[in-house]
Structure 1
């Protein structure tokens, strides 16, 4: 085979692995597109509107809203830990989509704000798993994207596949904040598993996020120190540990292989928007990336520069679920199987657009 023929063959293989998504698969919808027909039983549109605090977690609230949910235990494949999880399996033998949702940074598997996601799964006859993966990222070394955390997430995924009749072409992963961090971790390790990954306001680089919060009133920097074994100064073991626990260390290896949308509020003061922008850059070809100057403009001015708006899809598409939540889409970029959506909002997740987007994805 000639060099040119080999290049063409390799290009064809890459295209088969990561096809350009059709417009009907992208976030939002084409003008005058028909409704999906999916049920959204929860009246809540964004996580910050769900009753209580973002970190509230209790079984009684889950059972009140989702009576069919099960509180299960999953034996760890790494140690003698019994991982708790919220789980739902539809009746019958028909293969159904599976929605795996990961809790955020400061709480555990009973995080109440994820209840509307379980309600959606039950209403639409999807399987659902909401695992604990060592609980809150509270400074314990076994938390915060440790190898035990990764193993727990893989165990939970396998449990759902073994205990529900799952359509392997429609396995979906969703996370918010610290949950989005772990979603990117899991997806990068299993790029052939998930039909779609929705990452809302993700922590992408623990070192830069540590620096952002160092000296602030929040506990995040101290929790990172505890998990990584000290201050992550350049050249230290703690620095190396934090780098290894960051999606940034693993996501580039899966570039072009995972179907993912990264969504971030442009006014986020907890996880700054540059975390999402760098994640997007690491998933796309060089010519599709944002420049450092563009990232700095977005971060400092909380607005999208004109040269990026010229590349955006958001003036050609409609985003009714963002509009209903008063979270206007400001930027929508797409390259290969990767999308980036910046919206007028803070540290938030919108339930409906992420679920609608996931439902349109299917592995070949």
Structure 2
């Protein structure tokens, strides 16, 4: 009888792959990039230090810095669109990791600040994909996490799988700002695909971000309204459209099923840190969630409440890559396969710690 019960339990446990709590050597911090033999050919540590503006997008610059990357075209499966993308496939027959990087809100697949990510991929013999998915989120309805955007990202992933020898256990997804928004979208549709998802300063809820930008008088409010078909007022069609285009509508469905690092500058005035905090809450179990009072306190003071500091991992771990970039970690929480890191900074992405965190991840 006991053996029969044990068989039933084992059968249930293997019937569906369950996410495992990441081991300590897979967590952010105590970076081991040098020991792992990873190369960081770029001298730039954060996107705001890369030459030019954040939205600069020039093929000539890519060809200067990383000539190995090709400018390719991917036929869209959803319509007759031809999606441009930048792609690199390593030589040789050995299967290699794939790094899928998504451009940010106001530019396209030629976004120059992502060049160090491509340089890293080439130097470490990883495949690299940098798709366009309908270009900048400038208000046209086809952009801004539309169904066409989701389909284009899926097409880009499939193209990379078909044109490079990809290690299916080491497919990585990375995005910054609007790119992080779409990274969370794509991961929510394919929870069994990505070994790790690094989301830097993500837009998580378009409705609340619209309200934030409306109060600030920023152009993003108008772009959101145009893409969603109007001002997202409660009860209206535009509100529902914006809700569906937000990761917040889909990410809770995959809570505990995807390994995610959410990193955010605590003084971000472009995408407020509460976006990251709510994303973290939707990915973890109820007992691990930040309280409304904690979120309000962080937003109001720009400081971490004592109660959160008591459960933070950052006192026991080393974050040399953050320190090197003068953006020390202020809070590091982990629950199951989800991690949250708040750092001393604004609307920024640090290249090295995110890449090294991804390199530690591997699907069972």
Shorter-chain TM-score category?
A: over 0.9
Instruction: Please name the residue that 1:250 is paired with.
Output: 250
Report matched runs for 1:2-21 at 5 Å. Answer: 12=13, 17-21=18-22
Helix, strand or coil: the match of 2:311? coil
Q: 1:5 to 1:98 in 2, by over 3 A?
A: same
> For residue 221 of structure 2, what is the aligned residue in structure 1?
221
Partner of 2:198: 198
What residue number does 2:136 align with? 136
CA contact (8 A) 2:33 2:356 kept: no
Q: How does 1:82-231 map to 2 (within 5 A)?
A: 82-231=82-231
Q: State the aligned residue count.
A: 362
Residue 269 (str. 1) matches residue 264 (str. 2): no
CA deviations 1:208-231 (Å, max 9, x no partner) are: 000000043421000000000000
Unaligned runs of 5+ in 1: none
Q: Give the CA deviation at 1:8.
A: 6.2
Report the 3-state secondary structure (helix = DSSP H, G, I; strand = E; otherwise coil) of the residue aligned with 2:330: strand
Q: Per-residue CA shift, 1:195-243, capped at 9, x if unaligned?
A: 0000000000000000000043421000000000000000000000000
TM-score by length of 2: 0.96
In angstroms, what is the RMSD of aligned CA positions? Answer: 2.0
Rate the CA distance shift 1:7–1:251 in 2: closer, same or farther, 3 A.
farther
Q: CA deviation at 1:17?
A: 1.3
* Cα distance between partner residues in 1 of 2:202 and 2:42: 24
Q: Output the TM-score relative to the length of structure 1.
A: 0.96
Residue 13 of structure 1 and its aligned partner are, at CA, apart by: 5.9
1:111 and 1:300, CA in 2 relative to 1: closer, same or farther beyond 3 A?
same
**3-state SS of the aligned residue for 1:35?**
coil
CA distance in 2 between partners of 1:13 and 1:243 (Å): 35
Please name the residue that 2:27 is paired with.
Answer: 26
Q: Is the CA contact (8 Å cut-off) linking 2:28 and 2:353 kept in structure 1? A: yes
Output the CA distance in 2 between the equivalents of 1:7 and 1:339: 33
1:221 & 1:190 partners in 2: Cα distance?
Answer: 29
Unaligned runs of 5+ residues in structure 2 are: none
The separation in 1 between residues aligned to 2:11 and 2:210, in whole angstroms, is 40
